[in-house]
Structure 1
Amino acid sequence: MVYLPQAKLPATRRLNDADPRDQDYFALHLHYLGQWTPPDIPSYPTTMAATQSTVRPTLPQPKGVRYIDPDIASPSGSETPPAFPPVNAEPAEYYGGTQVYSRARTLSTSGAMGFTKSRPMTMNGEVIQRNRRLSHDETPTTPRRFLVDVEETMRLVLAQEDTDNNCQISIHDSGPKLISLGTASSNAYRTWDVRGNYMLSNLLQELALARDYGRRFIVIDEARLAENPVDRLSRMIKNSFWNALTRRIDAQGIEVACNDPKNRARKRNARIYVPHTELEMLEHYRQIAKEKPALQLEVIQLPPVPDDPEYVKSLNEKPGILALAMKKGADGKLEALPFVVPGARFNEMYNWDSYFMALALLVDGRLDLCMAIVEHFIFQIKHYNKILNGNRTYYLCRAQPPFLTDLALQVFNQLDRSQMAENKQWLKRAIQAAIKEYHRYWMVEPSLDVKTGLSRYRPVGKGIPPETEASHFTHILQPFADKRGISVNEYILGYNDGTIQEPELDEYMQHDRGVRESGHDTTYRLEKKCADLATVDLNSLLYKYEIDIASAIECMFDDELEMEEEFDLSPWPITPEAFAAGAPREKSTSRPMKSAEWYARAKARQAKLDDLCWNEGHAMYFDYDTKLERQAPYESATTFWPMWAGCASENQALALVYKAMPKLEVAGGLVSGTEESRGTISLDRPNRQWDYPFGWPPHQIMAWVGLQRYGFEEEASRLAYRWVYMMTLAFVEFNGVVVEKSNVVSLSHFVEAEYGNQGLDFRYVNREGFGWTNASFQIGLQCLTTGMRRAVAACTSPWDYFGFPAPQIDKVLPSAPVPDEHAPKPPKPAERRASDVRQVPTLQQSIAQLKGMSLSS
């Protein structure tokens, strides 16, 4: 008998000529050596090849499994679908199709299977930690795939790697960051190491996704676990996150849309409020309520004036969602248009969140969704007089930063040019709506300061905002309650129903509502004075409104735009006499709109910004306090918004880039404000989330666009690189996390401020990210060169890539979360078995063990 050299034998056992499993092997080997020919078989190799191509495994297989060898997978371009889905296919394709198993001979298995014995590494009888190998693995000649038992592998990964029991794998977990998986080509008989935090966290995510599709066993590509992180995150945002964040208020989606984590009312029934004149929509929702009694849906018709402060306050105990735009389908029935929510605790349509998400949706080719967002904006202005903070009843008195004209023009530029007549009609409706919002909300009192001609975030309202966290105002209300000898809750009830009158608190709440309308809730820049500030950000946006409206009227409507809805126009020019009580107001339908008036309005606002907000000494724009009649010198990232709007001069832009930007540019991009402006932090003066050291997606995007507008391409790319790098680093190190905001100074997503951070709380796999942070990643990638994108994917730091000194970064660790009585209970930690956990010896034990070992060992 001839034996092969032992070095070529399988590592797990020696060949045995008496073993039936090896008889074919020996026979074929001897035939090649010319020492043996099988009787009555004229051509053994040919027969063996023909037999192997038709024989199926005799052992029973799981349901839905087909026997496919990678060698017979259909070639590219074939009409037959390939045996294995693309490595980067979406979960629906990767796990949702027929299960693909490649079985060479039997169903013998090894690795992470339910019946497999664990074989921990030992030294002198003690379990030891296997450290990462320093040598490179050999490169396979074919793509490596793993055959994985989903549930058992998931249990093992969590037990071994998720040491903090949060159902995620991050660099803060102290596991060995190593697991061996059975290869698909050997039916999981041979194993291969999957190493590192990124690959293991991706494995956990893929197992969770496979479980969603009911898979017990999967074949997964190694390349999928090691996917380029920039490509992976961008793919997830485009194909998964946007879909997960999309809502419709129809029969199928109304239950999800009505859910409100911020609702603390005693009765949490699903409610929808319908505009007074939308009778067909009202009947539509009443029919849904009848057809789905389990929803306990209340359908309520709003009064003709839905934003009356007294009425809005009366809804605090019965909050609900506000109806949005619908269209008639081919069958003549109403169909809800989709919208996108930010995510986490924000499950409604928000104004400026929607704008930034729409910019990224345009990048990702979702033009239909962007058009729907504009339709919702138009609907809200028509029925609620403004684009609301969000479509909930407690937002009826508040707007948010206005972006309608810019979004409408960007969408218009993407529409099919062959349908220009229809496109113009669509744009006309958007511009008409923007004109109404401008005249009816932003350019009338109390928003407008007549003396300066600038606008402020100064919404009307009564009582305490009900959407805030329960303890948000406790430190403010406690002194007032103590003065009256009652509890804070009793004080809130008395203040809201009007039995307690407190002018000082009224003023505080007016400023607080202004902060929330600004979108910058909260910051010391605006606290206790927001309603008096003509902010540089709001007036830059209104300048853009004026320029966009003028340009559209001039270029698209032959310098004449007839208004179809009648309302009072804001007087022009702005004088105290024109705004005096009882002064006559011109109607919107009295004459066509001309571009000249809008250009004049823009020019006047630009002059006011230069005169009142520009500070030559600091080379920055500051907010203007209309009460104190002086600048509020807080150094904020909103100083770049005039560049976005195009109202900064060339000299001002140069000063902003070379003098202001160095104060605000930090490791992860632009910080919201400088540390000096924020001031000292203490127990009595805690961090605010829109202050130093935190950075937000809107500030980054506005700065990138503004810099590009004035030709500062390199600076825009550098800032975008910093932000995208920080996002990619968190994605790689923390189980695919994408959060609302970040500590851009320390490159951390752990935020010590009110509300914490949204987007952290998920199990196993991130399914939605966070709206405008998703958008900032997709938009940021457009600012990067190919080389920059590759460097970010390799997690190359900005200081290494651009060659400037590395900053001093203090890593921020997560603190214990504040318990939420309404939050779901945390999942039960994975059960740990003794064989799952590899105990790491101490330094002294390792030295003692090494001293006792001989050289031969």
Structure 2
Amino acid sequence: MSTRAAFASALLFGLLSTPALALQPSTSPPSPPDQNWQPLFQQVQRAHLFPDQKTFADALPKSDPVALVAEWQRARTQPGFDLGTFVGEHFTLPGEAATYVPPAGQTLRAHIETLWPHLTRSTPDVDPNGSLLPLPKPYVVPGGRFREVYYWDSYFTLLGLASSGRWEQVRDMVDNFAWQLDQYGHIPNGNRSYYLSRSQPPFFSLMVDLLATHEGDAAYQRYLPQLRAEHAFWMRGSEGLAAGAARERVVRMNDGSLLNRYWDARAVPRTESWTDDLATAAKAPQRAPSQVYRDLRAGAESGWDFSSRWLVHPAELSSIHTTQIVPVDLNSLLFHLEKTVARAARASGERAVSRDFERMAKQRREAINALLWDERQGWYADRDMERGTPRPALTAAALFPLWLDVASPAQAKRTAQAVELQLLREGGLLTTTENTGQQWDAPNGWAPLQWVAVDGLQRYGQDGLARQVGVRFLRTVQRVYEREGKLVEKYVVEGEVGGGGGGEYPLQDGFGWSNGVALALLDRLCDPGRKCADAGDVDR
């Protein structure tokens, strides 16, 4: 089915099947602030008026952007003009997130349960001049500087909402993502206009899976058009693609198989990191700036922004080559999407569609196991398109084929052995073995990757290692909570464990996916009403 047909089908289904969603699709998605407010936007970001460049990207202009920019052009020629004063007078800046202080003695689970309302937002109506995009139903944000919903974060948040019995909220958020597929033809990185040019790792099929544990096959039937629309988005450009070529997010491998990569429709500095990207591109004079920008944006689509996974030289962000890498986690997720479409089509009585997607899933599994498996080293690895070889380093992404049932038992066993030897630390699972200062590298461990590891290892009978990963990470979360009264975005899991560091911004509190994974791990690994027997200080 063509992309246009998939989108039309999804749009029609959304309008017919979800009448409670008051918002209606528009014909032209809004432009981001770096386009709407230029050249004022660029001047403000270059002036570094705010420590975090996302602040101005999230600001609300107090008047129509065209008139506002014209007023700035006039005012800047006047004696005594001050850019900071002008911005303060003509924009409403986002406020600081309120700090939630838990009651004394509150357990980790109780703290997370009381956090959900503090992280819930409802924005069916938004200011059309700002960057925030509307969503018809309430949603949970990560917290801190992340004032909007994020795509792949939300799956792990949903795990926690499900653990809390908040199935109505789970359904609301899945409906929101389905609505975005109807509205835009894909799920954006987040509900901001500056995120519309990219998506994030495709977790929608896993969200439908989760909801189906509560609602049964009706969930698969309800979201079949949107599942197909997501697949069409990721596969757009595959028709007629020659062997060894790539177009948008699709790569035709030399053997003729189809796999995928991360991409972004724009090749300019990220709106929320404008001058950072300018500086990064300036450090790579041998490369076209537009290519550096595209690779930075593709790295943001991966969710691993940033990591040595994407770098030619691990210590140099300017060597980023995301679009030249075929990632193992992305292709495992797309395998799951194809299997889920097949299941949903079968539940809907569309047998021919089901057979087509089963065939696609089979072909993708074979390609993953042929091209993204490193037989010599014994683990799954991203593939370097330029060199035609696996990337050499082991990363936590190697566990996605276990989590999503791509691996054979022998491959799972070898991967588990490598992970235990290289990535397991006293505080949980390392993201990579490289310590580069990037946040998706050592010494950090991230909640979503702990869940992927625990659930994936258990699927292949590696229960002892799975328990070590999960309990060690829970212990880290508990210690930070007891010391600081909060959960955070990422954690240091080797050496002196605690809140994580590195990357482009300070450590954020909240935190959506850490909350969700902590609850899911408590459910999975700890007896109800008691502490984990081998975790010591982790309360159920």
TM tier, smaller:
0.7 to 0.9
In the aligned structure 2, how far is the partner of 1:474 from the partner of 1:594?
Answer: 46
Is 2:528 aligned against 1:782? no
Stretches of 4+ moved more than 4 A in 1? 477-480
Quick one: which of 480, 487, 498 aligns to 1:749?
A: 498
Cα distance in 1 for residues equivalent to 2:294 and 2:422: 31
Q: Is 2:117 the counterpart of 1:243?
A: yes
Among 465, 468, 473, the alignment partner of 2:277 is: 473
Contact 1:613 1:622 in 2 (8 A): yes
Partner of 1:505: 289
1:557 to 348, 351, 359: 348
Q: Can you give the 5+ residue segments of structure 1 that lack an aligned partner in the other structure?
A: 1-204, 210-223, 255-271, 273-296, 300-317, 326-336, 418-422, 484-501, 561-592, 682-686, 761-768, 797-857
8 Å CA contact 2:480, 2:499 repeated in 1? no
One-letter amino acid of the structure 1 residue matched with residue 419 of structure 2: A
Q: CA deviation at 1:319?
A: 4.5
Q: Which has the larger radius of gyration?
A: 1
- TM-score scaled by length of structure 2: 0.73
| 2:358 pairs with one of 599, 612, 637 | 599
1:457 corresponds in structure 2 to 262
**Whole-Å Cα distance in 2 between the matches of residues 644 and 697 of structure 1?**
15
Going from structure 1 to structure 2, the CA distance change for 1:712 and 1:394 (only over 3 Å counts) comes to same
What does 1:185-196 align with in structure 2 at a 5 Å threshold? none
Higher relative contact order (CA 8 A, sep 6+): 2
In the superposition, relative to structure 1, how do residues 660 and 759 fare at CA in structure 2: closer, same or farther (>3 Å)? Answer: closer
Contact 1:619 1:660 in 2 (8 A): no
The residue aligned with 1:234 is: 109
- 2:333 maps to which residue? 541
Q: Does 1:320 align with 2:124?
A: no
| Partner Cα separation in structure 2 for residue 520 and residue 479 of structure 1 | 21
**1:694 and 2:444 matched:** yes
Partner of 1:388: 188
Question: Which amino acid in structure 2 is aligned with residue 754 of structure 1?
Answer: G
Give the letter for the 1:390 counterpart. G
- C-alpha distance 791-713 of structure 1, shift in aligned 2 (>3 A): closer
What residue is the counterpart of 1:488 in the other structure? none
- Aligned with 1:467: secondary structure? helix
1:415-450 deviation digits (Å, cap 9, x = unpaired) = 2x7xxxxx72x5323121011111133453310012
Using a 3 Å threshold, how does the CA distance of structure 1 residues 242 and 611 change in structure 2: closer, same or farther? same
- Cα distance, 1:550–1:477 mapped onto 2, change above 3 Å: closer
Instruction: Give the counterpart letter for 1:349 in structure 2.
Output: V
For residue 404 of structure 2, what is the aligned residue in structure 1?
A: 645
The CA deviation at 1:713 is: 2.4
Cα deviation code 1:606-633 (max 9, x no counterpart) = 1111111101121111111223322211
The change in CA–CA distance for 1:453 and 1:704 in structure 2 (over 3 A counts) is same
The one-letter amino acid paired with 1:794 is D
Which whole-Å CA distance do the structure 2 matches of 1:478 and 1:650 have between them?
A: 47
The verdict on how the C-alpha distance between 1:365 and 1:793 changes in structure 2, with shifts beyond 3 A counting, is farther
Contact 1:355–1:407 under 8 Å retained in 2? yes
Counterpart CA distance in 1 for 2:305 and 2:387 is 22
**Helix, strand or coil: the match of 2:271?**
coil
SS for the counterpart of 1:414 is helix
1:703 lines up with 2:453 in the alignment? yes
Distance change in 2, residues 1:246/1:464 (3 Å): same
TM-score (norm 1): 0.47
CA 1:476 to 1:608, structure 2 compared with 1: closer, same or farther past 3 Å? same
How many residue pairs match? The answer is 419
Distance, in Å, in 2 between the alignment partners of 1:361 and 1:714 is 27
State whether structure 2 residue 249 is matched by structure 1 residue 447: yes
| Residue 622 of structure 1: aligned partner | 381
Counterparts of 1:113-152 in structure 2, within 5 Å, are none
* Seq. identity, %: 28
Q: CA RMSD in A?
A: 2.4
User: Is 1:430 the equivalent of 2:223?
Assistant: yes
Mapped contact 1:643–1:707 kept (Cα < 8 A): yes
Instruction: Check whether the contact 1:449–1:626 (CA below 8 A) recurs between aligned residues.
Output: no
Alpha-carbon separation, structure 2, partners of 1:661 and 1:603: 29
Q: Which has the higher helix share?
A: 2
- Partner of 2:165: helix, strand, or coil? coil
Give the 3-state SS of the residue equivalent to 1:454 in structure 2. strand
Distance in 1 of aligned mates of 2:164 and 2:496: 27
The 3 A distance-change label for structure 1 pair 543 and 695 is: same
Distance 2:336 2:538 in 1: 37
The reply to whether residue 671 of structure 1 matches residue 463 of structure 2 is no
Please state how far the C-alpha of 1:410 moved relative to its aligned partner: 1.8
Residues 644, 479 of structure 1: CA spacing in aligned structure 2 closer, same or farther, 3 A cutoff? closer
2:149 pairs with one of 349, 353, 361 = 349
Does 1:633 find its partner at 2:381? no
1:721 paired to 2:441: no
Cα 1:341–1:611 change in 2 (3 A) is: same
Rounded Cα–Cα distance in structure 1 between residues aligned with 2:332 and 2:387: 21
1:412 equivalent among 212, 216, 221: 212
When residues 558 and 758 of structure 1 are mapped into structure 2, their CA distance, relative to the original with a 3 A threshold, is: same
**1:402–1:464 distance in 2 versus 1, CA, 3 Å:** same
Instruction: Give the CA deviation at 1:479.
Output: 5.4
1:693 Cα offset (Å): 1.0
CA contact (8 A) 1:357 1:775 kept: yes
AA aligned to 2:306 is T
Q: Give the deviation of 1:714 after TM superposition.
A: 2.6
In structure 1, what is the Cα distance between the partners aligned to 2:472 and 2:522?
Answer: 11
Alpha-carbon separation, structure 2, partners of 1:345 and 1:323: 18
Q: Unaligned regions of 5+ residues in structure 2, if any?
A: 1-98, 238-246, 312-319
Cα distance in 1 for residues equivalent to 2:176 and 2:109 = 27
**Retained in 1: the 8 A contact 2:281–2:293?**
no
Amino acid at match of 1:776: V
Given that 1:514 and 1:531 are in contact with CA atoms closer than 8 Å, whether structure 2 keeps it comes out as: yes
Distance 1:596 1:776 in 2: 34
Q: Secondary structure at the match of 2:383?
A: strand
Contact 1:739 1:749 (C-alpha < 8 Å) held by counterparts:
no
Q: Tell me, yes or no, if the aligned pair for 1:544 and 1:645 is still in contact at 8 Å.
A: yes
